[in-house]
């Protein structure tokens, strides 16, 4: 019997999957129930909470806000972090320890403390950004920076970067063409991992969104918080919709990664 097919391994994996899926299954059943007073299954199944959710303009707007601020932040990060990482690894490798330290600085300050400082700094002219997605996007940038940099840095570490650069130069490629046609295709996995990891993190972020913008720019997590007293079934429907969006994006990212 192959080592990977050992019954003990299958049992461990099965238990792990069950532990992960049980809370999700419970949330799904609760979102599909009208009453669940006793027993292991709901008394009556219904889709009314999903119909209520999809007919609520605030939910659609909140999803749009979350997608907008997360996508905008990730585009900005790719345009800045990716070239900076390449420059450090290719031309200034002695700066790697400095970069490793710098990207960890956001973890040294709790989000609540950071939010208070940002509110104090950007609440007056000429930098009046409180309550705007611009301020939230800036906070998200610092929050996701360590995850994106580490994913790209790990990919760069796995490459024979100097060998690729020397081969490209011998073939007459300039710095820009070298980066676009040689380096970027080899960083596809790192970019994909970093983008999906950061998107999942930012799409579910609540502290910065609630303190910096709140209901002025309601994201999906703020919407969930504001609707928490409406109905537990309704809140479960929001959570499942949030999970479905992430699952669809995961499948799309997986297919894109195989291209």
Phi (first) and psi of residue 35, to 5 degrees: -140, 140
DSSP letter string over 186-202? Answer: HTHHHHHHHHHHHHHHH
CATH 1.10.3720.10 maps onto the chain at: 48-258
Q: What is the pLDDT of residue 69?
A: 93
Give, in degrees to the nearest 5, the angle at Cα 139 between 61 and 117.
120
CATH number of this structure's domain 48-258: 1.10.3720.10
Tens of pLDDT along the chain (259 residues) come to: 455 566 778 888 888 888 888 888 888 888 888 776 666 676 677 888 888 888 889 988 999 999 999 999 999 999 999 888 888 888 888 888 888 888 888 888 888 888 888 888 888 777 788 888 898 998 999 889 888 898 888 888 888 888 888 888 887 777 788 888 888 888 887 888 888 888 888 888 888 898 888 888 888 888 888 888 887 888 888 888 888 888 887 777 667 655 5
Cβ–Cβ under 8 Å, residues 195 and 123:
no
With b for 16 or more beta-carbon neighbours within 10 A and e for fewer, the 103-127 pattern comes to beebeeeebeebbeebeeebeeeee
Q: What is the pLDDT of residue 1?
A: 47
Closest CA to 90 of 170, 189, 182: 182
DSSP letter string over 145-187? Answer: HHHHHHHHHHHHHTS-HHHHHHHHHHTT--HHHHIIIIIHHHT
Report yes or no on whether pTM surpasses 0.75. Answer: yes
Q: What is the pLDDT of residue 256?
A: 65
């Amino acid at each position: 019997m192959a080592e990977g097919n050992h019954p003990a391994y299958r049992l461990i994996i099965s238990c792990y999957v069950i532990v992960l899926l049980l809370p999700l299954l419970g949330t799904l059943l609760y979102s599909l129930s009208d009453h669940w007073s006793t027993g292991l299954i709901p008394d009556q199944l219904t889709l009314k909470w999903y119909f209520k959710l999809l007919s609520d303009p605030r939910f659609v707007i909140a999803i749009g806000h979350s997608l907008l601020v997360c996508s905008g932040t990730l585009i900005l990060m790719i345009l800045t972090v990716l070239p900076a990482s390449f420059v450090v690894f290719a031309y200034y490798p002695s700066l790697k320890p400095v970069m490793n330290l710098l990207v960890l600085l956001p973890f040294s300050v709790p989000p609540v403390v950071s939010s208070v400082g940002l509110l104090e700094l950007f609440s007056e002219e000429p930098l009046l950004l409180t309550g705007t997605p611009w301020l939230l996007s800036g906070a998200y940038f610092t929050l996701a920076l360590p995850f994106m940099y580490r994913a790209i840095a790990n990919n760069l570490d796995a490459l024979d970067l100097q060998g690729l650069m020397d081969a490209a130069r011998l073939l007459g490629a300039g710095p820009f063409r070298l980066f676009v046609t040689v380096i970027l295709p080899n960083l596809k996995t790192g970019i994909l991992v970093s983008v999906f990891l950061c998107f999942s993190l930012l799409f579910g972020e609540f502290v910065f969104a609630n303190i910096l913008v709140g209901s002025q720019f309601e994201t999906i997590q703020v919407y969930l918080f504001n609707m928490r007293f409406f109905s537990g079934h309704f809140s479960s429907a929001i959570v499942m919709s949030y999970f479905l969006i992430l699952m669809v994006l995961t499948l799309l990212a997986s297919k894109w990664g195989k291209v």
